[in-house]
Amino acid sequence: MKEIERKFLVINRNYRKEARPVPYRQGYIMQDDKGHLRVRTGNGKAVLGFKQHISGFSRWEFEYRIPVADAKEMLIHLCADRIVEKDRYTVLYKGLLWEIDEFHGRNEGLIVAEVELSSEDQFFEKPAWLGEEVTYDPRYLNVHLARHPFGEW
């Protein structure tokens, strides 16, 4: 499935009025210059996912549900220190679903919001809690944060 996503820093926590956090833990099993394979647990579910950059801010993304127990074992034994922990808030704003991630652990202090679009040129209104766009800055990709945490920048 093709994913078209824009990413922004968050300047305040007003989105919290509209949503409850869901803790996520995700780790990276494999990564190269073509893409990455990750495992994620959250909300009582687990997925194995693959992402590969296409162009601009479009990526291929494939996710498959797996048993939570398997995912926990993968996180422990296959991901080593390539793990990201975060609370995710989902907020519907002007017809689009925003995912806001408040990072913990080695990425504490970082808050990023993402929105999926139907095309790269789709217009959307930005919520007041959005700051600078970081879509094209690879440092803000979760796969990068797993190896180069925000707390070490």
Instruction: Give the catalytic positions in this structure.
Output: 28
130 in the Ramachandran plot: left (φ > 0), alpha (ψ -120 to 50) or beta? beta
Write down the architecture of domain 2-152 according to CATH.
Answer: Beta Barrel (2.40)
Q: What is the pLDDT of residue 18?
A: 84
pLDDT tens profile 134-150: 999 999 999 999 999 99
Residue 106 makes CB contacts below 8 A (sequence gap 6+) with: 149, 150, 151, 152
Q: What is the pLDDT of residue 1?
A: 86
pTM of the model: 0.93
Alpha-carbon distance of 112 to 129, in angstroms, equals: 10
Handedness of CA 115, 126, 101, 35 (dihedral sign): positive
Strand 58-65 to 2-10 pairing:
antiparallel
| pLDDT band, residue 33 (cuts 50/70/90) | confident
Mean pLDDT of 75-82: 94
